[in-house]
Amino acid sequence: MTESTLAPITLPPYDWTTIAADLDREGWARLPRILHPVDCALIADLYDQQGPFRSHVHMARHGFGQGEYRYFAYPLPDPVQALRAALYGWLAPIANRWHERMDLTSRFPEDHAAFLGRCHAAGQRRPTPLLLQYGPNDYNCLHQDLYGEQVFPLQVAVLLSRPARDFTGGEFVLTEQRPRMQSRPIVVPLEQGDGVVFAVNQRPQRGTRGDYRVVMRHGVSKVHSGKRHTLGIIFHDAA
């Protein structure tokens, strides 16, 4: 299957007020059935093609874990581009509110193209959406996707494979580090086509003396069997 067979993608009618509340409370929120199973399979099938991608990374070579991923090249496949632009439009107001609460000066424009212009002016011109592939015993170490000075504080991962059918194990994991406290682990339950939006680096948390910053990281636990594909949508580009 080729990129040309991919159909246009539109977002389901999510309750973004609830999603924003979940993000404020937990630092993550589920986006159920953001992709249809057919679209999941078509996007996963792109992995073995060369044309859509700019680079291929084997995690073990860099100490990132085990498994591999490919960064898409510009122009992005239409469904990836559509998801990236549409999600940004809903998430930018949340990102701006987070930055205000964390006393960070940068604010984000309504339009994703305008934000990418800011990234490119700062020397961050390489696209960051990616496809990840895991096999048995593969995993992804806890990390943050920071690629330069310009950072959008939210990102999205979409599970393209079917848990318990295409693979076992391989849970999406978050950790939360609050000041002077031990890290809290979070396992996010996902089905095929579900997305999760989560904090890239820091998020605000309401405390008795106002807001403070919580540091978050994400990863994937060990895959026990089968093959697991994920679409990652990062909104800032890389230097």
Residue 181 has pLDDT above 90, yes or no: no
User: pLDDT-derived band of residue 5, with 50, 70 and 90 as boundaries?
Assistant: low
How is 119-158 classified by DSSP, letter by letter? HHHTT--B---EEEEE-TT-EEEEE----SS---SEEEEE
* Cα–Cα distance for residue pair 70/202, rounded to 1 Å: 25
Given the structure tokens 């510009």, which residue do they identify? Answer: 74
**CA 12 to the chain's CA centroid:** 18
Residue 193 has pLDDT above 70, yes or no: yes
Q: For residue 48, how many other CB atoms are within 10 A of its CB? A: 8
* Cα–Cα distance for residue pair 144/128, rounded to 1 Å: 13
Q: What is the mean pLDDT of residues 142-169?
A: 97
How does DSSP classify residue 11? -
* Cα–Cα distance for residue pair 209/121, rounded to 1 Å: 38
User: pLDDT-derived band of residue 183, with 50, 70 and 90 as boundaries?
Assistant: confident
Token duo for residue 167: 């693979």
Q: What angle do CA 64, 66, 72 make, to 5 degrees?
A: 75
**CA 210 to the chain's CA centroid:** 28
What integer pLDDT is reported at residue 7 of this predicted model? Answer: 62
* Cα–Cα distance for residue pair 164/178, rounded to 1 Å: 33
Higher pLDDT among residues 178 and 231, named by residue: 231
What integer pLDDT is reported at residue 10 of this predicted model? Answer: 85
Residue 3 has pLDDT above 50, yes or no: no
111-135 pLDDT, tens digit each: 999 999 999 999 999 999 999 999 9
Residue 207 has pLDDT above 90, yes or no: no
Judge contact between 166 and 112, C-beta under 8 A. Answer: no
What integer pLDDT is reported at residue 44 of this predicted model? Answer: 97
Taking only Cα atoms into account, the Rg of the chain, rounded to an integer number of angstroms, comes to 17
Judge contact between 84 and 237, C-beta under 8 A. Answer: no
Q: For residue 134, how many other CB atoms are within 10 A of its CB? A: 26
User: pLDDT-derived band of residue 223, with 50, 70 and 90 as boundaries?
Assistant: very high
**Percent of the chain scoring above 90 in pLDDT:** 90
Residue 235 has pLDDT above 60, yes or no: yes
**Percent of the chain scoring above 70 in pLDDT:** 97
37-96 pLDDT, tens digit each: 999 999 999 999 989 999 999 999 999 999 999 999 999 999 999 999 999 999 999 999
Q: Which residues lie below 8 Å from residue 95, measured CB to CB, with a gap of 6+?
A: 108, 152, 153, 154
Nearest one of 40, 16, 51, 46 to 154, comparing CA atoms: 16
What integer pLDDT is reported at residue 4 of this predicted model? Answer: 46
